Structure 1
Amino acid sequence: MGHPGVMEVQEQPSSEDIRSDNEKHGHDNNKPEATYLKATKDGIPLHPQPSDDPEDPLNWSPLRKHAALVVLAMESLIIKFSNTVIAPGAHTLAAQFDTPASTASYIGSAPSVLYAFAPFLWIPLSHRMGRRPVLLISHLIALVAAIGVGRAESYSQALGCRMLMGFGGSAGLCISTAGISDMFFLHEKGTRLGVNGMLFVVAPYIGGVIGGAIQQNKSLGWRWAMYIAAICYAVQLVLQFLLVPETIYDKDVAARETPEQKKTLYRRLGFRTPTPAPGETWADTFRMPFSMFAYPAVVLPCFWASVCIMTEVANTAGLSLNFGTGTRFGFSVQQVGFCFFAGLIGSALGEVCAGPLCDFVVKRSLRSGKEWVPEKLLKLFISGLFTTFAGLLIYGFTIEYVKPSQWAAPLVGLGLFVFGQEIVVTVLLAYMTECYRDRAVECTIVFQFFLNLMCFPPPFYTPLWIAKHGGAKVPYIVYALLPVVFFPLCIMPFMWKGEAIRNRGPMLAFWKKSQ
């Protein structure tokens, strides 16, 4: 009843990871002799080892897994799409609410700060209630808020409802990654998390293209941009209910369930309430997301990745300010929307490289019989560092210096930046979910916290910085150099001694030990 296409091979576990995986899924770790590990037909050992229960997400059929994968990956698309679908109309919003265009752009960019903090509520709730009900509740909130934005009659109403959208939508950004990690094996995760990473990166640019076309139509306008976002949330809500069962699997809870309990309507609808650890209080559960901030192998790579791609929101929100009405390019709302195609192309090309490369590194290591360590993925960061650096420099210099007829040049720079962003996000997610598999959702919280905290300020001060005497090249030189400066401090130590640093655990525990 195990995973389709699985065979068993006799092999000694090669690391603590395999032993902890066997323990989690009910295997006996006390045998002194060789154990039988389940493997694929071509001999790749399965990490983690699945149980024999067909309800274990690792044992779901490929169709069931990939249907859930598509819906979970769409979380990132819908949430980030709804941010920028209104962005091309900054000048229209300014006229509607009698504010400067730079202030009107905050309606699109400001909610990103909620993506940094709201998961500290949603994720503990998911540990107590399950991933499935939290996703459904949070999307219902975002759906109602999107309708509220479309009906807003003042700037404060529109901004308030957009912040509520950010609060509701934030749950999916963390839970989707953990849900995907629950269902797939190590040698499959790179490509599957890459799908999620690609939609996460490409979503703002899809939103800009569609938003520009909608708002260019006078019979629709910016209000229908938000109504369409609400319709997308409604469709996603239905798909979640139909195609995404609970992915948290507890073998002890599953073993206690009787056949009658498994046939109840609650279980048939895909719900399964997790059981907290013995003695774990609600306060302990809500403290849990903060614990990963003590782990250097999570905090430093997340911080570096956030520095690397911190201009994402400033770039998308700034397209209307840099290319739209009143600029030397003089683009219409629809033409500003077309600028977002640069991000679509860059993301697609980035994912063609990022996910398969992660899986290639894993498969090559496992086939060689060498002990697998996640730090082998980190060298892939170098290509992301180079392309984001080059893309930011090209974008900043060409915005300032090229002729209006040469508008394609800065968009090439933007596409190159997004190509690198795609690689950075995919590699980071694959690395973190392998460092601490049982804490994947908490690791993702750390990434979302740093990313959205770092992305929040640039849309506010970058336009002012560009307007000063130095022009666009100055801020973008700074943005390009920051990840280069932090790379030796945040990534290279893990490429050299990552496993040793990771095995020491949290920084505070190590500090106490060293005293």
Structure 2
Amino acid sequence: MSPNTSAGSKQHLAHSHAHEEDIPGTVNLNAAEGDDTGYGQALFPVPAEDPNDPLQWSNFKKTMILIICSFYSFLANAALIGPSPYIDLWAEEFDISPTKASELISYPNLAFGFGSLIFVPLYLKIGRRPVMLISLIIFCAGIIGASQCTTYGGLMAARVIHGFGSCVCEALPVQLVNDIFFLHERGERIGYYTVCLCLGTFASLPAGYILAGGYGWRLFFYVEFAFGAALLVLAFLFVEETSYDRKSAILMSMPATESEKASEVMGSQVLAEISETRIPPRKSFAKTLSLWGRVDNDVPFFTMMARSFTYFLVPQALWVIASFGINIGLLALAYSYTFPILITSPPYNWTVINSGLFAIAAVVGYALAVPFTSSSDRLAAYFTKRNNGIREAEMRLGVMLPAMLIGPAGIILYGVVAEKSLHWVLYFVGGALSYFAAYFYFSFTLAYAVDSYHSNTSEMLIAMNLGKQYVLPNIALILPL
């Protein structure tokens, strides 16, 4: 039964008796009579009997939030990586070396990664909605500033500002998925976010064609600003505060739950009327537009920054961080460095402009992987059923086995083609295989990490963002050797 179906004019509120076991990531999903289910299993987290609980929101509301935050990830990553074709142009315009000009790409990326140390504790402290809006405002300000800069220092400052402002777009979408979707939906929803995140890294292709079309590099930032401003309006209208004190709400509803024991005496109709009076009304649309989030005075802002580093000592979190970093390094750096050199040399002799067409391999690889976005959820549900309704976080990882074979096969094929100077189509085949496998790593290892550390998701996300920014640059240093 869907948690958002309606009976007449009244919203159906989802019910569940699922509960977490003593070991983090282990959940009892056995459904009791009257429970709403997903894949035949009770819903988790257990929603409060309150239409304002984000888990009780309509599918339209949840989907709009997911679309907005996912597109923000696309836009922010496009702004970071997209201008890479302009390095030589900036070197000439600002009278600096190409190495110096490349810092206009690297330093904004560092600001993007390390800014999560501030923004993630901040959205836990004052709420998701205000931080999302503040982030978008800073991003748009930095982007429009970059479009007007006439000096290297000014452009660097504007680039660092929009990189820092948008840093939350990698952590916040995962947090929002954690806030508004049930356990059996997370793998698929994180998969959709991952698609947008990955596609943002290919913005350098249209950025290059902007130059080929006779337009200046500023047009790229104008386009980014237009989309950013539109996204800010959509976020203001649809991204309601998702931080919710579910434990307190469930405790407040406990008397109503306990009163069910008196149903035999009072009668079901009278009991239903009593329960209904305890359910608060849904917030009006005007109230959802409030700029204030849910302030949590119990969040230790600075302690959380320090505590996030402890996740580098947790094997599961370290594995996810390394998986992300290595795949990003291999795909974004190894292929980006080697393919233009190989394809513009004999026997291929392609033009430099056409060397960017390798992005087609990524698009094909990700497109072939998208139909599998729900595969980890389905596999975990199957194993949960076999395990008498007890769910383990590791149950979704079986879908990784094909990717663990296909990914290395793609890299080996790419290397053999480069060594033997085989047909150029095989470069794209090898790349597509690698990107196909990378999608599984990006999506399902992240879903696994969220399942394992549901109560400390934000601290884990800080560690993941910092780790990716560390692993990726180190691969970049190793490659030239």
Could you say which TM-score interval applies, normalised by the shorter chain? 0.7 to 0.9
- 196-205 or 419-428, larger mean C-alpha shift: 196-205
Aligned to 1:141: 138
Q: Deviations over 1:229-288 (max 9, x none)?
A: 2222222222211111111111367669997995695544374323233xx554435445
2:402 equivalent among 379, 383, 395: 383
Number of residue pairs the alignment of both structures matches? 446
Confirm or deny that 1:244 pairs with 2:239.
yes
Cα 1:199–1:169 change in 2 (3 A) is same
Aligned to 1:165: 162
Q: Does structure 2 retain, via aligned residues, the 8 Å contact 1:181–1:189?
A: yes
Cα 1:448–1:440 change in 2 (3 A) is same
Aligned to 2:196: 199
Aligned to 2:380: 362
Aligned partners of 1:378 and 1:307: how far apart in 2? 18
Q: Does structure 2 retain, via aligned residues, the 8 Å contact 1:18–1:47?
A: no
- 70-79 or 385-394, larger mean C-alpha shift: 385-394
2:317 equivalent among 285, 293, 298: 298
Confirm or deny that 1:421 pairs with 2:438.
yes
Aligned to 1:15: 21
Q: Does structure 2 retain, via aligned residues, the 8 Å contact 1:81–1:204?
A: yes
Aligned partners of 1:225 and 1:85: how far apart in 2? 8
Cα 1:184–1:226 change in 2 (3 A) is same
TM-score (norm 1): 0.75
- 157-166 or 55-64, larger mean C-alpha shift: 157-166
Aligned partners of 1:373 and 1:286: how far apart in 2? 28
Aligned to 1:175: 172
TM-aligned CA deviation for residue 434 of structure 1: 0.6
Q: Deviations over 1:134-173 (max 9, x none)?
A: 1111221121222232233333433333222221111111
TM-aligned CA deviation for residue 81 of structure 1: 1.4
Q: Deviations over 1:366-396 (max 9, x none)?
A: 3443411011223333333333323333334
**AA at the equivalent of 2:4:** P
Cα 1:11–1:164 change in 2 (3 A) is closer
**AA at the equivalent of 1:160:** A
Instruction: Give structure 1 stretches of 5+ with no counterpart.
Output: 23-33, 466-515
Q: Does structure 2 retain, via aligned residues, the 8 Å contact 1:317–1:459?
A: no
Taking every aligned residue pair, what percent have the same amino acid on both sides?
A: 23
Confirm or deny that 1:209 pairs with 2:205.
yes
Aligned to 2:3: 3
Secondary structure of the residue aligned to 1:245 is coil
TM-score (norm 2): 0.80
Instruction: Give structure 2 stretches of 5+ with no counterpart.
Output: 6-11, 254-277
Cα 1:267–1:221 change in 2 (3 A) is same
TM-aligned CA deviation for residue 59 of structure 1: 0.4
Q: Deviations over 1:437-473 (max 9, x none)?
A: 12222222222221122122444664x44xxxxxxxx
How do residues 115-126 of structure 1 correspond to structure 2 at under 5 angstroms? 115-126=112-123
Aligned to 1:223: 218
Aligned partners of 1:322 and 1:14: how far apart in 2? 53
2:65 equivalent among 65, 68, 71: 68
Cα 1:327–1:313 change in 2 (3 A) is farther
Secondary structure of the residue aligned to 1:153 is coil
Aligned to 1:232: 227
Q: Does structure 2 retain, via aligned residues, the 8 Å contact 1:84–1:211?
A: no
Aligned partners of 1:229 and 1:327: how far apart in 2? 37
Aligned to 1:313: 332
How do residues 436-515 of structure 1 correspond to structure 2 at under 5 angstroms? 436-459=453-476, 462=479, 464-465=480-481
Aligned to 1:503: none
- 98-107 or 335-344, larger mean C-alpha shift: 98-107
CA RMSD of aligned residues (A): 3.7
Cα 1:192–1:98 change in 2 (3 A) is same
Secondary structure of the residue aligned to 2:324 is helix
Q: Deviations over 1:331-379 (max 9, x none)?
A: 55652443322211112222323x2211111221334434110112233
Aligned partners of 2:87 and 2:346: how far apart in 1? 13
TM-aligned CA deviation for residue 60 of structure 1: 0.3
TM-aligned CA deviation for residue 436 of structure 1: 1.3
